[in-house]
Amino acid sequence: MDRTPNTCAYSHQKGADISVHHKGKVDDIPYKLIMKEVYQRGWVSAYPSTHKKYDATMSYSNSRIQTWTDLQEYHTQLLLKTHNNNTGDGDGDGEKVTKKDTLNENVNTTTTTTTTMIFPLLCPTNLQLETFLVKSLQFEQLVMPEFYNTNLGKVEHNKSFWKMAGGNNKNGADDEDDAQQQSSTENNPFCWIDIETLFGKASSWEEVLNERMTIFDNSW
Protein backbone atom coordinates (compact mmCIF):
# COMPACT_ATOMS: atom_id res chain seq x y z
CA MET A 1 0.00 0.00 0.00
CA ASP A 2 2.68 2.45 1.02
CA ARG A 3 4.60 1.70 -2.18
CA THR A 4 1.94 3.25 -4.44
CA PRO A 5 1.60 6.82 -3.11
CA ASN A 6 0.71 8.28 -6.51
CA THR A 7 -1.96 5.78 -7.56
CA CYS A 8 -4.94 7.99 -6.74
CA ALA A 9 -3.37 11.01 -8.43
CA TYR A 10 -2.68 8.91 -11.52
CA SER A 11 -6.26 7.58 -11.56
CA HIS A 12 -7.64 11.13 -11.53
CA GLN A 13 -5.47 11.97 -14.53
CA LYS A 14 -6.44 8.97 -16.64
CA GLY A 15 -8.71 11.14 -18.73
CA ALA A 16 -5.73 13.21 -19.80
CA ASP A 17 -3.37 12.30 -22.60
CA ILE A 18 -0.87 10.26 -20.62
CA SER A 19 2.03 8.71 -22.49
CA VAL A 20 3.23 5.37 -21.13
CA HIS A 21 6.66 4.24 -22.27
CA HIS A 22 8.24 0.78 -22.26
CA LYS A 23 5.01 -1.11 -21.62
CA GLY A 24 6.57 -4.44 -22.50
CA LYS A 25 4.68 -7.67 -23.09
CA VAL A 26 3.99 -10.59 -20.80
CA ASP A 27 4.98 -13.02 -23.59
CA ASP A 28 8.51 -11.58 -23.56
CA ILE A 29 9.20 -12.24 -19.89
CA PRO A 30 10.09 -15.98 -20.06
CA TYR A 31 12.68 -15.35 -22.75
CA LYS A 32 14.23 -12.51 -20.80
CA LEU A 33 14.44 -14.69 -17.69
CA ILE A 34 16.03 -17.51 -19.66
CA MET A 35 18.66 -15.20 -21.14
CA LYS A 36 19.35 -13.75 -17.70
CA GLU A 37 20.16 -17.27 -16.50
CA VAL A 38 22.32 -17.90 -19.56
CA TYR A 39 24.26 -14.69 -18.96
CA GLN A 40 24.76 -15.58 -15.30
CA ARG A 41 26.12 -18.99 -16.24
CA GLY A 42 28.64 -17.35 -18.56
CA TRP A 43 27.47 -19.20 -21.65
CA VAL A 44 26.69 -16.02 -23.54
CA SER A 45 27.97 -12.49 -23.04
CA ALA A 46 25.44 -9.82 -22.17
CA TYR A 47 27.56 -7.36 -24.14
CA PRO A 48 28.76 -7.20 -27.78
CA SER A 49 32.42 -8.02 -28.36
CA THR A 50 33.18 -4.32 -28.91
CA HIS A 51 31.82 -3.31 -25.50
CA LYS A 52 34.27 -2.50 -22.71
CA LYS A 53 32.51 -4.96 -20.38
CA TYR A 54 32.91 -7.85 -22.81
CA ASP A 55 35.10 -10.50 -21.18
CA ALA A 56 37.45 -11.83 -23.86
CA THR A 57 38.79 -14.49 -21.50
CA MET A 58 35.45 -16.31 -21.42
CA SER A 59 34.62 -19.17 -23.77
CA TYR A 60 31.24 -17.92 -24.93
CA SER A 61 28.88 -19.93 -27.09
CA ASN A 62 29.07 -19.30 -30.83
CA SER A 63 25.32 -19.80 -31.15
CA ARG A 64 23.44 -17.21 -33.17
CA ILE A 65 20.98 -17.01 -30.25
CA GLN A 66 22.55 -14.22 -28.22
CA THR A 67 19.59 -12.08 -27.08
CA TRP A 68 16.06 -12.67 -25.78
CA THR A 69 14.62 -11.56 -29.13
CA ASP A 70 16.79 -14.13 -30.92
CA LEU A 71 15.56 -16.78 -28.50
CA GLN A 72 11.92 -15.80 -28.87
CA GLU A 73 12.13 -16.00 -32.66
CA TYR A 74 13.94 -19.35 -32.51
CA HIS A 75 11.41 -20.80 -30.08
CA THR A 76 8.47 -19.47 -32.08
CA GLN A 77 9.73 -21.23 -35.19
CA LEU A 78 10.06 -24.48 -33.22
CA LEU A 79 6.50 -24.07 -31.97
CA LEU A 80 5.21 -23.40 -35.48
CA LYS A 81 6.91 -26.50 -36.81
CA THR A 82 5.62 -28.68 -33.96
CA HIS A 83 2.10 -27.30 -34.23
CA ASN A 84 1.93 -27.84 -37.98
CA ASN A 85 3.31 -31.37 -37.67
CA ASN A 86 0.70 -32.21 -35.04
CA THR A 87 -2.15 -30.83 -37.13
CA GLY A 88 -1.19 -32.44 -40.42
CA ASP A 89 0.55 -29.38 -41.89
CA GLY A 90 -2.62 -28.24 -43.62
CA ASP A 91 -3.17 -31.50 -45.50
CA GLY A 92 -6.73 -32.01 -44.42
CA ASP A 93 -6.19 -32.57 -40.69
CA GLY A 94 -5.64 -28.96 -39.74
CA GLU A 95 -4.81 -25.52 -41.01
CA LYS A 96 -1.15 -24.67 -41.36
CA VAL A 97 -0.06 -21.86 -39.03
CA THR A 98 2.50 -19.44 -40.44
CA LYS A 99 2.28 -16.47 -38.08
CA LYS A 100 3.16 -16.10 -34.42
CA ASP A 101 -0.11 -14.29 -33.54
CA THR A 102 -2.17 -17.11 -35.01
CA LEU A 103 -0.03 -19.66 -33.20
CA ASN A 104 -0.63 -17.94 -29.87
CA GLU A 105 -4.36 -18.51 -30.32
CA ASN A 106 -3.81 -22.24 -30.70
CA VAL A 107 -0.80 -23.12 -28.61
CA ASN A 108 -2.69 -23.61 -25.35
CA THR A 109 -5.63 -25.47 -26.85
CA THR A 110 -5.82 -29.20 -27.48
CA THR A 111 -5.53 -29.66 -31.24
CA THR A 112 -4.50 -33.32 -31.05
CA THR A 113 -4.33 -35.82 -28.21
CA THR A 114 -1.79 -33.67 -26.37
CA THR A 115 -1.61 -30.03 -25.36
CA THR A 116 1.48 -28.00 -26.19
CA MET A 117 3.30 -26.98 -23.00
CA ILE A 118 5.69 -24.16 -23.85
CA PHE A 119 7.55 -23.95 -20.52
CA PRO A 120 7.57 -25.72 -17.17
CA LEU A 121 5.91 -23.48 -14.60
CA LEU A 122 5.97 -22.77 -10.90
CA CYS A 123 2.81 -21.39 -9.32
CA PRO A 124 2.05 -19.87 -5.92
CA THR A 125 0.46 -21.97 -3.22
CA ASN A 126 -3.12 -21.33 -2.18
CA LEU A 127 -1.82 -19.64 0.96
CA GLN A 128 0.26 -17.25 -1.15
CA LEU A 129 -2.73 -16.58 -3.37
CA GLU A 130 -4.80 -15.82 -0.29
CA THR A 131 -2.18 -13.23 0.70
CA PHE A 132 -2.37 -11.64 -2.76
CA LEU A 133 -6.16 -11.51 -2.53
CA VAL A 134 -6.17 -9.85 0.89
CA LYS A 135 -3.75 -7.18 -0.33
CA SER A 136 -5.83 -6.64 -3.44
CA LEU A 137 -9.06 -6.29 -1.45
CA GLN A 138 -7.42 -3.87 0.96
CA PHE A 139 -6.25 -1.73 -1.92
CA GLU A 140 -9.68 -1.71 -3.57
CA GLN A 141 -11.28 -0.71 -0.26
CA LEU A 142 -8.75 2.10 0.13
CA VAL A 143 -9.09 3.49 -3.38
CA MET A 144 -12.81 2.82 -4.00
CA PRO A 145 -14.53 2.41 -0.61
CA GLU A 146 -18.07 2.93 -1.91
CA PHE A 147 -17.66 0.47 -4.77
CA TYR A 148 -16.00 -2.02 -2.44
CA ASN A 149 -19.22 -2.33 -0.40
CA THR A 150 -21.46 -3.00 -3.42
CA ASN A 151 -22.35 -6.39 -4.92
CA LEU A 152 -19.72 -5.82 -7.59
CA GLY A 153 -17.08 -4.96 -5.01
CA LYS A 154 -15.65 -7.33 -2.44
CA VAL A 155 -17.78 -10.39 -3.29
CA GLU A 156 -17.24 -10.20 -7.04
CA HIS A 157 -13.57 -9.31 -6.55
CA ASN A 158 -13.08 -12.45 -4.47
CA LYS A 159 -14.94 -14.63 -6.96
CA SER A 160 -13.10 -13.25 -9.99
CA PHE A 161 -9.73 -13.56 -8.30
CA TRP A 162 -10.05 -17.29 -7.64
CA LYS A 163 -11.45 -17.89 -11.10
CA MET A 164 -8.44 -16.13 -12.63
CA ALA A 165 -5.84 -17.65 -10.32
CA GLY A 166 -7.02 -21.23 -10.57
CA GLY A 167 -6.64 -21.76 -6.82
CA ASN A 168 -8.44 -24.62 -5.11
CA ASN A 169 -9.04 -23.03 -1.73
CA LYS A 170 -11.79 -20.55 -2.55
CA ASN A 171 -13.01 -20.22 1.01
CA GLY A 172 -9.72 -19.32 2.61
CA ALA A 173 -6.45 -21.14 3.22
CA ASP A 174 -7.33 -22.56 6.61
CA ASP A 175 -6.38 -26.17 6.02
CA GLU A 176 -2.58 -26.53 6.14
CA ASP A 177 -2.35 -29.17 3.40
CA ASP A 178 -4.66 -27.24 1.11
CA ALA A 179 -2.88 -23.98 1.84
CA GLN A 180 0.46 -25.41 0.71
CA GLN A 181 -1.00 -26.97 -2.42
CA GLN A 182 0.23 -25.37 -5.62
CA SER A 183 -2.43 -23.63 -7.66
CA SER A 184 -3.31 -24.75 -11.18
CA THR A 185 -0.93 -23.83 -14.02
CA GLU A 186 -3.74 -23.56 -16.57
CA ASN A 187 -4.06 -19.93 -17.69
CA ASN A 188 -2.78 -18.82 -14.30
CA PRO A 189 -1.30 -15.29 -14.58
CA PHE A 190 0.50 -15.69 -11.24
CA CYS A 191 2.73 -18.54 -12.43
CA TRP A 192 6.31 -18.04 -13.56
CA ILE A 193 8.80 -20.05 -15.59
CA ASP A 194 10.65 -22.81 -13.75
CA ILE A 195 14.20 -22.11 -14.93
CA GLU A 196 15.78 -24.98 -12.97
CA THR A 197 13.44 -27.56 -14.51
CA LEU A 198 13.76 -26.06 -17.98
CA PHE A 199 17.55 -26.19 -17.96
CA GLY A 200 17.65 -29.63 -16.32
CA LYS A 201 21.17 -31.06 -16.44
CA ALA A 202 22.23 -29.04 -19.49
CA SER A 203 25.86 -28.00 -19.34
CA SER A 204 25.88 -25.64 -22.32
CA TRP A 205 23.69 -23.15 -24.15
CA GLU A 206 23.56 -25.49 -27.14
CA GLU A 207 22.10 -28.25 -24.98
CA VAL A 208 19.38 -25.94 -23.72
CA LEU A 209 18.51 -24.84 -27.26
CA ASN A 210 18.62 -28.24 -28.93
CA GLU A 211 17.39 -30.52 -26.16
CA ARG A 212 15.43 -28.50 -23.59
CA MET A 213 13.76 -25.79 -25.69
CA THR A 214 12.43 -28.45 -28.05
CA ILE A 215 10.27 -30.16 -25.38
CA PHE A 216 6.57 -29.44 -25.84
CA ASP A 217 4.94 -32.49 -24.24
CA ASN A 218 5.53 -31.61 -20.58
CA SER A 219 8.18 -34.35 -20.24
CA TRP A 220 10.55 -32.14 -18.29
Any idea where the domains of the chain sit in the sequence?
26-120+194-212, 126-180
Query: What mean pLDDT do residues 108-123 have?
Result: 58
**Rounded Cα–Cα distance for residues 9 and 78 (Å):** 45
**pTM attached to this predicted model:** 0.68
pLDDT of residue 40: 95
pLDDT of residue 207: 97
Coil, strand or helix at 219:
coil
pLDDT of residue 163: 86
pLDDT of residue 82: 83
Q: Residue 77 pLDDT more than 80?
A: yes
**Rounded Cα–Cα distance for residues 213 and 207 (Å):** 9
**Rounded Cα–Cα distance for residues 148 and 134 (Å):** 13
The full DSSP string for 52-76 is TT--TTS-----S--SHHHHHHHHH
DSSP 97: P
Exposure class string for 155-182: b at 16+ Cβ within 10 A, else e: eebeeebbeebbbebeeebeeeebbebb
pLDDT of residue 168: 53
Query: What mean pLDDT do residues 29-55 have?
Result: 92
**Rounded Cα–Cα distance for residues 95 and 184 (Å):** 30
pLDDT of residue 131: 92
Percent of the chain exceeding pLDDT 70 equals 65
